[in-house]
Amino acid sequence: MAEHPNAALVRKGYDAFTRGDMDTLRGLMAADCTHHVPGSHLLSGDHKGQDSMIQLYQRLYDETGGTFSVDLSHVCVDGRGHAVSVHRYTAERGDKRIEQNGCLVFRIVGDKITDIDECQEDLDKEADFWS
């Protein structure tokens, strides 16, 4: 059975992110796409537009000295334009290290990502790491 197109789109995005291929990522997003990062730390907020989102992703690498790593576990779809990815990520920042689960909730229109809501396993742990 073939993979749902929205699941394939999300997997392609994770692959591009892991390889640092920001041009491919940009091509998967609508021009006004927004990535919502929860919490109250230096990366929190609404990153609206492709340029802002690419800057966010680059900053993940910059702030962690290139140690930010994500391992995609599952992608679930509803057939109505939503996909949810489940992943485990690790990073080091100064003398801090983080390893926890997270997920992204994607809204997809046509073949473009229009919105991403980020969810974390432990928001306090996340805030401490980025503080």
What are the DSSP calls for 15-37, one per residue?
Answer: HHHHHT-HHHHHHHEEEEEEEEE
As a whole number of angstroms, the distance between CA 31 and CA 114 comes to: 8
Count of other CB atoms within 10 angstroms of residue 6: 22
CB 74 within 8 A of CB 83: no
Predicted TM-score (pTM) of this structure: 0.94
pLDDT exceeds cutoff 90 at 2: no
E runs forming strands in the chain: 29-37, 45-48, 69-77, 82-93, 96-109, 112-120
User: What confidence tens digit (pLDDT) does each residue in 81-115 have?
Assistant: 999 999 999 999 999 999 999 999 999 999 999 99
